[in-house]
Amino acid sequence: MHFSLACTACAWTGPDADIAQCPSCGGIIDVVYASAAVDVDAAQPGLFRWASRLPLHDPSTALSLGEGNTPLVRSHRLGDELRLSSLFFKLEGSNPTGSYKDRIAAVGVARLRELGKTAWAATSSGNAGAAIAAYGAQAGLDGYLFTLEKASRAKIAQILAYGPHVTAVERLGYDPDVEKLTWANIRRLCAERNWQMLVTARAFSPHAMEGVKTIAFEVCEQMNGVAPDVVYVPVGGGGLLSASWKGFVEAHAAGMIPTLPRMVAVQACGCDAITQAWQADRPVSPIPGCTSAISGIQLTAPPDGDLVLQALRESGGWCVSVPDAETYRAQADLAAKEGLFVEPAAAITVAALRADRAAGRLSGEERIACWLTGTGFKDATALQNMVAEKTVAMMRAEEIVMIDD
């Protein structure tokens, strides 16, 4: 077997098993590979060309919608404006359902099928639900999604199109006790019915979350064998940053890159339990509520929060919290100045970058990459607000030649 399991909190190790928590201490499980090599199998579809670093026993049975291989685009205007010599954007909105969550869903549904589970259940404010529902539909699986009562209507509409059962849970995303009870009851439901829990956090779905590492592998390829010096990542539950860091560590161990990046965790002011813990130099604890409107990163009890802190310490990185207004400004700038239409939870990385540049945290000579996690069509309200003051004038056809420069 090319992989086994280990606990991130104690010394427990064991062979692969259908578990999501350490049987010794209840800690978060990590997937460990027998070889350090990162081999590429070009014959496999989507991100499964990285099958040597994914926890699947038979990757040839995995289903793909063409996920992964997303563009890494160099900034043409914002980098100059911020006096940054090398700014890059990883366009995860190019994935089939419009976000990086497709990487998790592809691996998670493949794992589910290997285990013979009959359905999936998850929580999501939108992106994860759409991804899992799409891959579940491709596999002919039933699905049950429990979402936030204030989730983006556009995101929920996309999920409903794929056909799973969708239910909103009162106070989910705004109350840490509700979050914890929801996750506990989904875990119980799945155990009793032979379903697979696919909450997109390493604390709940350690195998599926291995799909996130492929973002790091791709960037190392796209930058011709080097890593960025600094990587800005949106953080809600923390799984994206933690798993991205794991990907860079594995790439470094395999000799793909000579150095490792510093990781920057970006949260929204009003929902930043991890930033508060980082600033106080303590473990992550739940915050009493969420006042940010940035969909996708609204979690008061981040399940992978302590893994984020560990990644920041190991990488020499840091945390930044950004006001919602600055995030919306960055969303508009990405569209108008770079031609990149992303959701607010993606644009928050650029808002943080701007704040760090203004604070003198960056020299301007670093190779910087921002994870742009989802397409702008995911949040219709934010889109309407972004163009609310713009008007569309009317003219007659014969007036076209007289238009002002």
What confidence score (pLDDT) does residue 379 get? 76
pLDDT at position 150 is: 76
Q: Are 10 and 24 in contact (CB under 8 A)?
A: yes
Is 367 contained in some domain? Answer: yes
Domain membership of residue 258 (yes or no) is yes
Q: Is residue 57 part of a domain?
A: no
State how far the Cα of 173 lies from the Cα of 148, in Å rounded to an integer: 6
> 214 and 50 in contact (C-beta within 8 Å)?
yes
Radius of gyration over every alpha carbon of the chain, rounded to an integer in angstroms:
21
Write down the pLDDT at residue 386.
Answer: 80
At 375 the pLDDT is 95
Evaluate whether residue 327 is within a structural domain: yes
pLDDT along the chain (405 residues), means of 10: 93 96 97 96 92 93 94 97 98 97 98 96 92 97 91 84 94 88 95 96 97 98 98 98 98 98 98 98 95 91 96 98 98 97 97 98 98 89 80 87 82
At 149 the pLDDT is 81
Residue 372 included in any domain: yes
CATH value at residue 352: 3.40.50.1100
Q: Is residue 16 part of a domain?
A: no
> Is residue 238 in a domain?
yes
Instruction: Note down the domain range covering 293.
Output: 72-99+211-386
Amino acid at 320: V
Q: Helix %, strand %, coil % for the chain, to 5?
A: 40, 20, 40
Q: Is residue 132 assigned to a domain?
A: no
- Give the torsion through C-alpha atoms of 353, 354, 360, 362, to 10 deg: 30
Q: How far apart are CA 176 and CA 194, in angstroms?
A: 27
Name the domain count of the chain: 1
∠ Cα 315 128 71 (to 5°): 60
Taking Cα atoms as reference points, which of 167, 98, 169, 87 lies closest to residue 134? Answer: 98
